Amino acid sequence: MRTAHAPAPRSVLILVASSAVALAACSSFDTKHSPQAPDAYYDEASTGTSTTDAGSTADAGDGLPGETEQQLFLRPIATETHVFVANESRDTLTRVTVPSLQVITPPTGDQPAVVTASPDGATAVVFAAGSDEVDVIDTETFATSSVSVRPNLNWMEMSPDGRFVIVYNDEDADTPNTGSGAQSYNEISLVDVDNLRHWPMVVGFNPRQVQFTDDSTTAVVVSDAYLAVIDLTADDPSPTRIAIAQDVVNPPLAEEVAVTPDGSYAFVRQLDASDLVLVDLQTNEVDRLDIGTSLTDLDLTPDGSQAVAVARAAGELWIFDVADPFQPATVLDLPTEAILGSIVMASDGARGLLYSTVSGLSRYASWERDTNDIVVHGLVKPVQSIAISPDGATALVVHTLDNGSEVDNTSSFYNRYALTMVDLTDFFSNPLLLTGEVLDLSQSDDGSLGYLVMKGQPWLEILHYDSLLYDEIELKSEPEHVGVLPNSTTAWVSQQHDLGRISFYNPDDQTLQTLTGFELNSGIEH
């Protein structure tokens, strides 16, 4: 372990006020685009038909491409009492009440592309891409109000308190941009859901990520070369656009932003840059923390006390104190027997798991935060993504179909899909051979169960974290997404069907109930 020093603070302040809008945070099977927070225990490399790879193809300085990041789209949203499904081809929203499984399907605008709900489940918000509107729906009465937004947008995210949504054009989303004629790639729409107000604004070319502070008072939008900071407490919000690139002709693209929970700082990782951009969100000053090598991942510890950056080519893990990021950073040398470019943090903060999605090596490493020990562990195949259970006790490793450099044709997993459950108390593992590609997976809030569905395979796999055993139950048709109702262990699985199909699995009595035909409000199939 060694210590590195950040340069003396230097700042660039650029303030440009305009009209106004707000943004939201996201999560799920290593995803950037999912409104369902209970599944948000994955990090920079994750998920099929409903996913795309959004990783950089740039060389990180070691001859390998950037770490990949897989994303899910058009996933239903669940509250403690309801599951909402946007029916894009029929311009409707289905509400399934739990546990009665009553189905009601109100209309929406054209081509509902994204659905989310307020934290209390009282309001559903639907972005209808075809009609350029946000529909605000009372989930009990189904009274609907519509707010027009800017054209040519394709994605929506909600603030933690549910009051604001931001709609923007994200090039990583597989939801198509429906516009014609002139189009802008700099605009967003901020909608006040409570008061049905709309502010259009220009934030910077190619918005890539939206973050909120925990208290929903500030939104931060990162684009290729700017951060747009929006004060959501203002009567008439407008973006403060902050240039984060020194080279304004060929700026390094901003790939990732991490906003501290209290809204004091934003850390920005840029493509191929040898420093980490630090933006003071109170003063809008921009500083650069010299690292001397390109970074491949960036994260905050769960308590928000440290910013952690992975420098794959240099084999280093950089740890910054968020309370004073200009203090000398702690730099840990990564083990030389592994190539490590991504990190996922356990929600309890005890450890992080380091891995690479492009190395071809069947290995990962555990970083114990109390001792800073980093230990390499073997796997049956290379890593596609890693998830950690909500209680921090179990890891799920999704493997690539590719065999990499360490799996030969004598292995049971050669040219096969696989997933590994790892007990993080002693790192004992149980690898599972899979008959199809992992399409989606989710976990119960208490960390006791995981649920997995595979592409083209009509099965729900139930993963028992305490024993590392699994069960499976047959579905009525091929799955699309899986999730868990908040504060429960009950799973839901949306499936392929012309009129819509969703199943609910109760692990207490091991029963599966299936609803088919949302438009027809059909009965329950056992």
Q: Concatenated DSSP letters for 193-223?
A: TTTTEEEEEE--SS--EEEE-TTSSEEEEE-
Average pLDDT, the chain: 85
Q: What pLDDT is attached to residue 470?
A: 98
Alpha carbon dihedral 293, 298, 299, 305, in 10-degree steps, equals 40
Residue 472 lies in a domain: no
Mean per-residue pLDDT, 167-186: 71
What is the identity of the amino acid at 28? S
Nearest alpha carbon to residue 407 among 452, 361, 449, 450: 361
Per-residue pLDDT at 33 exceeds 50: no
CA–CA separation, 168 and 179 (whole Å): 13
What sign does the dihedral 255-260-262-264 (CA atoms) show? negative
Q: What 3-state DSSP class applies to 362?
A: coil
Mean per-residue pLDDT, 216-239: 94
Q: What pLDDT is attached to residue 104?
A: 87
The answer to whether 272 and 252 are in contact (CB under 8 A) is yes
Nearest alpha carbon to residue 312 among 19, 51, 67: 67
Tens digits of per-residue pLDDT, 82-100? 898 888 888 988 888 888 8
Q: What pLDDT is attached to residue 456?
A: 96
Residue range of the domain that includes 27: 18-36+75-237
Q: How confident is the model at residue 178 (pLDDT cuts 50, 70, 90)?
A: low
3-state secondary structure labels for all residues of 222-285: ECCCEEEEEECCCCCCCEEEEECCCCCCCCCCEEEEEECCCCCEEEEEECCCCEEEEEECCCCE
| Beta bridge pairs of residue 220 | 211, 229
Tens digits of per-residue pLDDT, 378-398? 999 999 999 999 999 999 999
The answer to whether 386 and 346 are in contact (CB under 8 A) is no
What is the identity of the amino acid at 385? S
Q: What pLDDT is attached to residue 250?
A: 83
Mean per-residue pLDDT, 10-29: 26
What sign does the dihedral 374-378-383-385 (CA atoms) show? negative
Q: Residue 94 burial by CB count (10 A; 0-12/13-18/19+): exposed, middle or buried?
A: buried
Mean per-residue pLDDT, 235-240: 97
Q: Name the one residue in this structure whose structure tokens are 């997933």.
A: 419
Q: How confident is the model at residue 177 (pLDDT cuts 50, 70, 90)?
A: low
Nearest alpha carbon to residue 116 among 176, 73, 66: 73
Per the structure, the count of domains in the chain is: 1
Q: How confident is the model at residue 175 (pLDDT cuts 50, 70, 90)?
A: low
CA–CA separation, 22 and 11 (whole Å): 25
Q: How confident is the model at residue 249 (pLDDT cuts 50, 70, 90)?
A: confident
Residue 93 lies in a domain: yes
Q: What pLDDT is attached to residue 252?
A: 84
Radius of gyration of the chain (CA): 22
Residue 183 lies in a domain: yes
37 φ, ψ (degrees, to nearest 5): -60, -35
Q: How confident is the model at residue 205 (pLDDT cuts 50, 70, 90)?
A: confident
| 60-74, 109-123, 257-271, 294-308: segment of lowest average pLDDT | 60-74
Local structure of residue 105 (DSSP, 8 states): -
What is the identity of the amino acid at 390? P
Per-residue pLDDT at 44 exceeds 90: no
Local structure of residue 24 (DSSP, 8 states): -
Per-residue pLDDT at 163 exceeds 90: yes
Q: What 3-state DSSP class applies to 116?
A: strand
Tens digits of per-residue pLDDT, 467-519? 999 999 999 999 999 999 999 999 999 999 988 899 999 999 999 999 998 66
Domain of 100, CATH number, reads 2.130.10.10
The answer to whether 299 and 284 are in contact (CB under 8 A) is no
CA–CA separation, 268 and 208 (whole Å): 12
Residue 92 vs residue 414, higher pLDDT: 414
State what percent of residues in the chain have pLDDT above 70: 83
| Beta bridge pairs of residue 345 | 352
Residue 195 lies in a domain: yes
The answer to whether 421 and 462 are in contact (CB under 8 A) is no
Residue 115 lies in a domain: yes
Strand order across the 286-290 sheet? 254-259, 265-270, 275-280, 286-290
CA 120 to chain centre: 21
Q: What pLDDT is attached to residue 133?
A: 97
CA atoms within 13 A on the CB side of 203: 35
Q: What pLDDT is attached to residue 180?
A: 61
What is the identity of the amino acid at 100? S
Residue 142 lies in a domain: yes
Residue 229 lies in a domain: yes
Per-residue pLDDT at 54 exceeds 70: no
The answer to whether 352 and 336 are in contact (CB under 8 A) is no
293: left (phi over 0), alpha (psi -120 to 50) or beta: beta
Residue 489 vs residue 48, higher pLDDT: 489
Reading the block at residue 97, the tokens are: 């009440």
pTM for this model (two decimals): 0.84
Per-residue pLDDT at 52 exceeds 80: no
Mean per-residue pLDDT, 124-145: 94
The answer to whether 85 and 502 are in contact (CB under 8 A) is yes
Q: Which residues of 49-64 are buried (b: 16+ CB within 10 A; e: fewer)?
A: ebbbebbbebebbbeb
Reading the block at residue 136, the tokens are: 């605000």
Local structure of residue 130 (DSSP, 8 states): G
Give the max Cα distance, the chain: 67
Residue 27 lies in a domain: yes
| Cα–Cα separations (whole angstroms), residue 112 to 175, 367, 442, 465, 524 | 10, 42, 24, 36, 25
Q: Name the one residue in this structure whose structure tokens are 């191929």.
A: 272
Local structure of residue 400 (DSSP, 8 states): P
What is the identity of the amino acid at 431? P
What sign does the dihedral 280-286-292-293 (CA atoms) show? positive
